[in-house]
A and B are shown apart, each in its own frame.
Chain A
Amino acid sequence: QSVLTQPPSVSGAPGHRVTISCTGSSSNIGAGYDVHWYQQLPGTAPKLLIFRNINRPSWVPDRFSASKSDTSASLAISDLQADDEADYYCQSYDKSLSGSLFGGGTRLTVL
């Protein structure tokens, strides 16, 4: 099944830690394909946040981390800050689709 499932929303207080899950299947994450994560601030285009499962571009602080296991991946954001409020998307490749697949997105609210 060509679907990446994310929770619609997560929230946390400033300074706290949240995690966002991304659950796939044997045709995408479970087939060994890499997972990338994107951050979309309100009213802007998505921006690469994590690439190849665990790697951060130079502009991304180390408060952001990610992991991948079996058919799922996870993004963790520690020391939450107000400007982390955004939508977060996971992405992988799906062999049934022969193309990219995005998760449904998770809206992070910093309380």
Chain B
Amino acid sequence: QKEVEQDPGPLSVPEGAIVSLNCTYSNSAFQYFMWYRQYSRKGPELLMYTYSSGNKEDGRFTAQVDKSSKYISLFIRDSQPSDSATYLCAMSANTGNQFYFGTGTSLTVIP
């Protein structure tokens, strides 16, 4: 079983839609959860960082962590064509330890 599972998509939505991206994981020791956005031919860019369970909001982006279900989500409100990218989840037991990444979900927002 992979440490982190993420549906690769692709996901295609109309502009203005709410996007939901999800990952599941198997290691209950994970405490740090991150979402990255990666444009084509670019390195991953950190979008959201959360510690333990709960919600975190930053502009149009909301990250949710449910440690009891080993499930994390990223919501994008009022999606824009510029949000078209691959989104990767990542997690770690400790910031000094190895990070484990999902395979990424390809998102296209259609104008």
Partners in one complex: no
